């Protein structure tokens, strides 16, 4: 995956995972759009990995077809469901410098991807998240989902002293070496995986970078909101116990100093991204 430029210098690379479950009807269009955008607008070597979470429709065959047809596209099949399970499986085996993921519906505008990963590639940050609650974000979603999202993040602030603004946005990236250090301590295999990753990062004083996003809610979303909310509350309770007992501290978390100026799209305002270094 790692490539060299004309001067023989190895370029840092990114692997983007798209977890899917029964998405045969949208997969080809979404991956095609993502691939076209990255090929024409992204200045770093990349790989797209479609992670099939035990789909029961034609998703796996569609993923294989895409991997055969498009360069830089791979497909991985898992025998059990769970977004966290898929991300942990692929990210733990990645040869890229930075690993990322986005939802298959591409709810987040792709123009936000370079600002998301650039500070990780340059060594300025350790993790990066898209935030729908950022003051510069443009979000289109219903009042119910808006209320649930804001309420969840308020609970995280109150219960776990979270300082990141949006734990659930399906648009995140992390340095691979950092993830490998955190991965053995992440227990959740479903939707709370993201929150657990971020809480562990904050407890270990890692640098979390937030970017605004253009977000359009997916009307076809099949997430069970009630069940997910209950699972999240259980996860929060578990993380609170970890935090108060000191088990959220990890001894061997890699640190990196800045290496280069972060790459941002031409014309992007300096205030469009926030660098947050958290203390426990």
List active site positions. Answer: 194
CA angle 55, 61, 66 (to 5 degrees): 115
Contact yes or no for 250/108 (Cβ under 8 A): no
Strand ordering across the sheet containing 98-102: 73-78, 46-53, 14-20, 98-102, 171-175, 127-131, 207-212, 274-277
76-79: long-range pairs with CB below 8 Å, 24+: 76/49, 76/50, 76/51, 76/52, 77/52, 78/51, 78/52, 78/53, 78/54, 79/54
Question: Which residues does 109 contact at the CB level (< 8 Å), separation at least 6?
Answer: 213, 214, 215
Give the tokens for residue 134. Answer: 């950022």
Please name which of 207, 199, 206 lies closest in space to residue 160, comparing C-alpha atoms: 199
Residue 172 phi, psi dihedral angles, 5° rounding: -140, 160
Residue 71 phi, psi dihedral angles, 5° rounding: -65, 150
DSSP lists the bridge partners of residue 275 as 209
DSSP lists the bridge partners of residue 99 as 15, 174
Please name which of 201, 179, 42 lies closest in space to residue 112, comparing C-alpha atoms: 42
Instruction: Determine the 3-state secondary structure of 60 from DSSP.
Output: helix
CA dihedral angle for residue 106, residue 107, residue 108, residue 109, rounded to 10 degrees: 70
């Amino acid at each position: 995956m790692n490539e060299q430029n004309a001067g023989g210098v190895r370029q840092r690379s990114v692997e983007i995972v798209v977890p899917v479950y029964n998405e045969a009807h949208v997969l080809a269009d979404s991956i095609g759009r993502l691939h076209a955008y990255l090929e024409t607008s992204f200045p770093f070597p990349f790989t797209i990995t479609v992670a099939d979470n035990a789909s029961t429709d034609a998703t796996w065959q569609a993923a294989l077809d895409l991997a055969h047809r498009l360069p830089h596209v791979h497909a991985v099949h898992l025998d059990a469901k769970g977004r966290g399970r898929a991300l942990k499986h692929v990210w733990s085996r990645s040869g890229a410098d930075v690993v990322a993921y986005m939802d298959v519906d591409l709810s987040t505008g792709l123009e936000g991807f370079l600002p998301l990963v650039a500070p990780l590639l340059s060594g300025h940050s350790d993790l990066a998240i898209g935030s729908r609650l950022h003051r510069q974000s443009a979000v289109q979603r219903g009042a119910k989902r808006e209320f649930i999202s804001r309420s969840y993040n308020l609970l995280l602030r109150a219960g776990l002293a979270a300082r990141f603004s949006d734990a659930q946005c399906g648009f995140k990236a992390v340095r691979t070496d950092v993830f490998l250090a955190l991965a053995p301590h992440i227990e959740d295999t479903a939707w709370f995986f993201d929150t657990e990753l971020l809480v562990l990062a904050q407890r270990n004083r890692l640098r979390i970078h937030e970017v605004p996003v253009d977000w359009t809610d997916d009307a076809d979303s099949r997430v069970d909101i009630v069940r997910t909310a209950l699972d999240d509350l259980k996860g929060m309770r578990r993380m609170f116990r970890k935090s108060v007992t000191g088990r959220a501290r990890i001894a061997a978390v890699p640190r990196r100093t800045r290496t280069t100026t972060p790459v941002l799209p031409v014309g992007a305002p300096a205030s469009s991204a926030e660098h947050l270094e958290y203390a426990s």
